[in-house]
Chains A and B, each alone.
Chain A
Amino acid sequence: MLEIKNLHARVEEKEILRGIDLTILPGEVHAIMGPNGSGKSTLAGVLAGREDYEVTQGEVLFQGKNLLELDIEERAREGVFLAFQYPVEIPGVTNTYFLRAALNAIRKHRGQAELDAGQFLKLVKEKTKLVKLSDELLKRPVNEGFSGGEKKRNEIFQMALLEPNFCILDETDSGLDIDALRIVADGVNALRDGKRSMLVITHYQRLLNYIVPDKVHVLAGGRIVKSGGKELALELEAGGYVGVGGAR
C-alpha cells in the first residue's frame, strides 16, 4: 500500500525528517508515537502534500505510484486521507455542499457517476450513524462553531464518506474526552475492513487502547528509532520516551 524510503524533509532551513523508512501493507494499522517535535505531524503533512515542507531526499510509493509527484487533490482522489489535528473552519460553505463537491471529485476520478443531492443525502444518512453526527451539524458551515469533539467526529465522518484506501490520523485523540474518544475510535474501527490501511499518529498510548494497531513505531529526531508490536506502546506508557534509543 505505502512504502516510504529514506524520506528527508525540511521546513525552511530546518531538517525535520531525517531518513524515514516505513512499509505499510494493505489492511494494516500502524501507529507512530513520539515526543513533541519528533516530526510526527511533518510526516503526515508531507504525505498529504502540504506545501510548507520541502522533501530533500527519498521517495514515497503509494499503490505503486510516486506519491510525492502528485498534487494535493490528486493524492486525495487516489485514496489518501488525512484526518487533521486541527480541522479547518470554512465559514460560508455548508458541510454538505463541501462534501458533495469532494465526493463527486473523487467519484469522477474513479470513473463513477456523480451523485445528485438526493443520492448524496441518502449516503450521508447512512454514514453519519457511524460517528453520531447530527443533521444540524451537516447543514452548518464546515467546522464553524463545532466543539473540539464535533470537529474530530466530522473528520472521521468524512473519512467514512470518501472511502479512502489509506488514512492518516494526525493526533485525532488530542482534545477529546473519554466519551468522544470512544465514539471516534468506534468510527475508525468500523472502517477497518482488512484492505484499508491506516497510519495513526499520537503522542499518547491511550488512543491505542481503542484503536489497536498491528505495528507501533517510535519517531524521535526525525527517524524511526524503534518498531514493534502493539505491546511497544505499553512499554512507552510505562517508561516514557526517554528510555527509547535515539530520543533526546
Chain B
Amino acid sequence: MASEVHAEMITSIQASAKQAFLDAYAAIEGQDVAPLIRRLRQAGIASFDDLGFPGARDEDWKFTNLGPVLRHTYQTAAADYGLGWAEVPGITVVPLAWAVAERPDLVEPYLGRVADHRVWPLVALNTAFLTDGLLIHVPAGVVVEQPVRFSTGTNGPGAWHRRVLVIVESGAQLTLVEEHHSQPGDGTLTTKVTEIVVGANAHVDHYVLQDESLDAFYLATLAVQMARDSRFSTHYFGLGGALARHEVRVRFTGENSEATVNGLYQASGTQHFDNHTVIDHAVPHCNSHELYKGILDGKSRGVFRGKIDVRKDAQKTDAKQTNQTLLLSDDATINTKPQLEIFADDVKCTHGATVGQLDEQQLFYLQSRGIGQAQARALLTFAFANDLIGRVRVPALRRSLEERYLQTHHLPATEDE
C-alpha cells in the first residue's frame, strides 16, 4: 500500500511539473525567433508533451528519481546564457541564434538531428526552450592546436536550457573544454544538450568539468555522431550538483573510427550522480573504450548504466567498458549495470565492474613510511581519481584538476617537481 501511495505521489509531482513546463512554453511561444528555432521548439514541446518526465518504470531511469528536481518550480532563465569563450583564429565560435539566422545552411543539417528529441525526454524539453547557445565550427582540414574553452554560470534561480552544437569537418582537429558553474543558493535546474559532429578523418577531444553548486540540478546529454576514420574522446569530471545526470550517446556512422568515453565523479553528502552511456556500433570496424570511476562518500548515491549496441552488420567491433567505484562510507550506494546487446558474431566486447574500498596493503605501505592514516586514505583516493585526471591532454586543465582534487582531500599541492 505504502509504495503505491508513494508511486502515486511521484506521478502527481511529475504531472504537475510537466504542466508547469508546458505553461512556461506557452509564455515563450509567441517570441519572434528564427524559423528553424521555431520549428525545433514546436517539435520539442510536442515530443515532451508526448513523453513527459521519465519515471521509475522507465528502464533508463530506474535508479534516478527526478522527484527532488520536479518538486520545485522554475522560471525560464533569460536568453543570456552566461557563455564566455576565447577567440580562436581559423574557426567560428558564435552564439547559436546568430548562426541560425546567418548560416542556416551550416546549422540546419545537424541542429536537433544528432540529439533525438523524439525519444529522449530531456532532450525534448531542452529543444522546446531552445533560444540561443553556442556554435563551434571547424572547417575541413583546420587543425586547432589551442583548446577552445567555454564556461557557463548562472546569475539567479530558474531553469537554464543550454545548447551547444559542434561541427568538426573532415580532417579537422579540435580540443574543446566545457566548464559549468552555478551560484550556491539558487537551486538552478540546467538542461544541457551538446551535439558534436565528427567528420571523416577528424579528431575531437572533449572535456567537461561539471562544477555546479551543491543545490543545483544538472541534466545533460552529449550526443556524438562519428563519420569514418574519425577519433573522438570525451572526459567528464563531475564534482557538483545535488543531482547530476550526465548522458553520453555516441553513434558510429562510418567505419574505422575510435571513441573513448571516460568519466570521473566524486560525491559526498546526499549527492546523486547518474552516468548513462550508450555506444551505438552501427557500422563495422569501430573501437570504443569506456572507463568510469566514482568516489562515493557520506550518503551519496551513484548510478552507472553503460549500454553497448553492436548491430548486425557491425563486424570486427572492439568495445571495452570498465566501471570502478570506491565506496568510502557504509551509507554510500552504487547501482552499476552494463548492458551489451550484440547482434554481430565477429566482435570483441568486454565489460567489468568493481566496487570496493581502499586497498589495505597500499594503506599499510604509506603508513609504514610515516604518513598518517587520514592522509594515507586521502592520498589513495586521490590516486584512484588521478588515473583519469592523468589522461587529460590539456596541461592547464590537468594541473587545475589535480590541484582541485588534492585540495578536496586536504593534500599538499604538487608544485613543480
A interface with B by C-beta (< 8 Å): 48-51, 71-73, 75-77, 81-82, 84, 87-88, 90-94, 96-106, 109, 116-117, 121, 139, 141-142, 158, 162
Contact A87 B365 (CB under 8 A): yes
Interface locus among B37-45, B187-195, B280-288, B383-391: B383-391
A142 / chain B contacts, CB cutoff of 8 Å: 365
Q: A93-B382, A93-B383, A98-B379 are in contact. Are A88 and B362 (CB under 8 A)?
A: yes
A73 / chain B contacts, CB cutoff of 8 Å: 367-368, 370-373, 376
Residue of A nearest to B376 (CB): A73
Residue of B nearest to A76 (CB): B370
A85 to B375 Cα, complex, angstroms: 24
Contact B369 A117 (CB under 8 A): no
**Which of A84, A92, A139 touches B384 (beta carbons < 8 Å)?**
A92
B352-385: contact bitstring with A at CB < 8 Å (1 yes, 0 no)? 0000000011101111111111011001101111
Residue of A nearest to B372 (CB): A73
Given A73-B372, A88-B365, A101-B379, 13 extra CB contacts under 8 A: A71-B367, A72-B364, A72-B368, A73-B371, A77-B370, A82-B368, A88-B364, A92-B386, A92-B387, A101-B412, A116-B415, A117-B415, A141-B383
Task: Decide yes or no whether B417 CB sits under 8 A from chain A.
Answer: yes
Residue of B nearest to A121 (CB): B417
B379 / chain A contacts, CB cutoff of 8 Å: 93, 98, 101
A90 to B360 Cα, complex, angstroms: 12
**Which of B365, B370, B417 touches A106 (beta carbons < 8 Å)?**
B370
Task: Decide yes or no whether B416 CB sits under 8 A from chain A.
Answer: yes
Contact A105 B417 (CB under 8 A): no
A49 to B416 Cα, complex, angstroms: 34
14 contacts between A and B (CB under 8 A): A49-B367, A49-B368, A71-B373, A75-B368, A84-B365, A87-B365, A88-B362, A88-B364, A92-B387, A93-B380, A93-B382, A104-B412, A105-B372, A116-B415
A98 / chain B contacts, CB cutoff of 8 Å: 366, 369, 371, 379
Q: Quick one: which of B371, B384, B386, B414 has the most chain A CB within 10 A?
A: B371
Q: A92-B384, A98-B379 are in contact. Are A162 and B369 (CB under 8 A)?
A: yes
What is the CB-to-nearest-CB distance from A108 to chain B, in angstroms, rounded to a whole number? 9
What is the CB-to-nearest-CB distance from B83 to chain A, in angstroms, rounded to a whole number? 34
B interface with A by C-beta (< 8 Å): 360-362, 364-373, 375-376, 379-380, 382-387, 390, 411-412, 414-417
A139 / chain B contacts, CB cutoff of 8 Å: 417
A92 to B387 Cα, complex, angstroms: 6
Contact A76 B415 (CB under 8 A): no
Q: A72-B364, A92-B384, A93-B386 are in contact. Are A105 and B414 (CB under 8 A)?
A: no
B368 / chain A contacts, CB cutoff of 8 Å: 48-49, 72-73, 75-76, 81-82, 84
Q: Quick one: which of A90, A91, A121, A141 has the most chain B CB within 10 A?
A: A90
Q: Which 8 A-B pairs have the closest CB atoms?
A: A92-B383, A76-B370, A102-B369, A117-B415, A92-B386, A88-B365, A72-B367, A106-B370
Contact B362 A90 (CB under 8 A): yes
Residue of A nearest to B387 (CB): A92
A103 to B416 Cα, complex, angstroms: 18
Residue of B nearest to A72 (CB): B367
B364 / chain A contacts, CB cutoff of 8 Å: 49-51, 72, 88
Contact A162 B366 (CB under 8 A): no
Residue of B nearest to A88 (CB): B365
**Which of A49, A84, A90, A94 touches B417 (beta carbons < 8 Å)?**
A94
Q: A90-B362, A90-B383, A91-B383 are in contact. Are A96 and B369 (CB under 8 A)?
A: no
B361 / chain A contacts, CB cutoff of 8 Å: 88
Contact A158 B417 (CB under 8 A): no
What is the CB-to-nearest-CB distance from A22 to chain B, in angstroms, rounded to a whole number? 20
B415 / chain A contacts, CB cutoff of 8 Å: 116-117
Residue of A nearest to B367 (CB): A72
Residue of A nearest to B406 (CB): A97
A100 to B368 Cα, complex, angstroms: 14
Q: Quick one: which of B360, B368, B417 has the most chain A CB within 10 A?
A: B368
A101 / chain B contacts, CB cutoff of 8 Å: 371, 375, 379, 411-412
A114 to B225 Cα, complex, angstroms: 52
B384 / chain A contacts, CB cutoff of 8 Å: 92
What is the CB-to-nearest-CB distance from B338 to chain A, in angstroms, rounded to a whole number? 23
A71 to B371 Cα, complex, angstroms: 11
A109 to B375 Cα, complex, angstroms: 15
Contact A90 B366 (CB under 8 A): yes
Q: Quick one: which of B376, B414, B417 has the most chain A CB within 10 A?
A: B417
Q: Quick one: which of A97, A98, A105, A116 has the most chain B CB within 10 A?
A: A97
Contact B416 A117 (CB under 8 A): yes
A141 to B383 Cα, complex, angstroms: 9
**Which of B365, B370, B383 touches A109 (beta carbons < 8 Å)?**
B370
Residue of A nearest to B415 (CB): A117
A121 to B416 Cα, complex, angstroms: 10
A76 / chain B contacts, CB cutoff of 8 Å: 367-370
